[in-house]
Amino acid sequence: MKVKKFKGATMPEVMQVVRKELGSDAVILNSKVIHEGGFLGLFKKRKIEVLAAIDKTTLPKKKTDQPIKPEMQQSKIPPNMSSSNHDAVLKELRDMKKWMQQNNNQTAEFQPVFQLVYEKLLDQEVDQEIAYDLIETIQARSNNEEMEETNIWSQLSFEIKHRLSNKGTFGIPTFDRKYIHLVGPTGVGKTTTIAKLAAHCVLKQQKKVAFITTDTYRIAAIEQLKTYSKILDVPIEIAYNLEDYQKAKEKFDDYDFVFVDTAGRNFRDEKYIKELGKIVDLNHEVDTFLVLSLTTRGSDLEDIYQQFRNIPIKQLIFTKKDETKTYGSVLNLCLNHNIGVAYITNGQDVPDDIEELSIEKMAKLIVGD
């Protein structure tokens, strides 16, 4: 198998050289954007780099007027390699090519510029199946005509927004119910997020707000929420069991909203959900939001969501946007489970570091500017 690297200013230019040197049977193994040249790291030029390959047995034969001698008809075999070993190597290379084509249909089917966008989606940790379906849809819509990369990203943004439009509610929710529960694993920032939501209601909507915390496993969490209650001048109650929780609800009967901070536990422990149900009422007069961290691996986020599948989750809230640059896991959960996202947080400041996540902003996170 012959493998060679090609560079050019545009993808059509590179592909023209690939076809000229390797023929129409060449396989594109990889393609990416690089920047070369410049002075002191400045004024670098954007280029397309393509790694192409072709089985030597498919290379075009050069015409010759000279008769071919019998001994020249045999493949040149190194002295230390027998003919059988040589054939085995060729077979292995052909099998490798076949495997790559079967297991990387995206590479074989997508035009190079579409392949670039597809690979960037994978870099954003978008599920392979979702990324492939998105690019396949856009390429089919183009009638296999060549498109500029910027146009593909524009089409991708449109397609993402279209698919999310019927997958749940995005953006700032209208709190339909009085009691607002935040659930999720430990360490995702539920307590800080509750403070941000409460501050928004108090300072911008002039609502009467109270806190209930059931996170009795961590003294620091209770003290943290107490600090926020003093700053916002809102009352707080601690619930160690369902009876305490019901008493707190009665105490805050005339309040507009009651924000409930639940304990974060190991999400792989099935007892956590059962224990949570013994302390708080998750089914009556409650809006429940699942808080997840953007720094969590995609496979773990899926496991966490499955753990909470029996709880009526209204929307998702994602935290720690300031600690990552990959957002594909958000798109994965929304499309796979028909659920929307209310907020995304990007720091510790209360109440500033929180913003609504509309469908437009969701698409922008994946596509960029």
Q: Are residues 340 and 205 in the same domain?
A: yes
**Residue 290, domain member (yes or no):** yes
**Residue 53, domain member (yes or no):** yes
pLDDT in the model for residue 106: 41
43 pLDDT band (50/70/90 cuts)?
low
Residue with the larger pLDDT of the pair 21 and 121: 121
Q: Are residues 235 and 310 in the same domain?
A: yes
pLDDT surpassing 90 at residue 133: yes
Q: Are residues 317 and 205 in the same domain?
A: yes
**Residue 103, domain member (yes or no):** no
Q: Are residues 279 and 363 in the same domain?
A: yes
Choose among 200, 322, 187: nearest CA to 267. Answer: 187
**Residue 359, domain member (yes or no):** yes
Q: Are residues 137 and 201 in the same domain?
A: no
Q: Are residues 215 and 324 in the same domain?
A: yes
Q: Rounded mean pLDDT of the chain?
A: 79
Query: Which phi and psi (to 5°) does residue 248 adopt?
Result: -65, -40
Q: Are residues 185 and 284 in the same domain?
A: yes
Q: Are residues 238 and 324 in the same domain?
A: yes
**Which pTM does this prediction carry?**
0.68
Domain final position from 164, 199, 229: 164
**Residue 264, domain member (yes or no):** yes
**Residue 85, domain member (yes or no):** no
pLDDT surpassing 80 at residue 221: no
- Strands 45-54 and 179-183, sheet pairing: unpaired
Q: Are residues 123 and 219 in the same domain?
A: no
Residue with the larger pLDDT of the pair 58 and 203: 203
**Residue 5, domain member (yes or no):** yes
pLDDT in the model for residue 74: 45
**Residue 86, domain member (yes or no):** no
Q: Are residues 277 and 158 in the same domain?
A: no
Read off the pLDDT of each residue in 182-205 and give the average, rounded to a whole number. 89
Domain final position from 164, 190, 206: 164
How far is it, in rounded angstroms, from Cα 68 to Cα 47?
Answer: 43
Q: Are residues 244 and 159 in the same domain?
A: no
Q: Which domain holds residue 31?
A: 1-62
Q: Are residues 190 and 266 in the same domain?
A: yes
Q: How many domains does the chain divide into?
A: 3
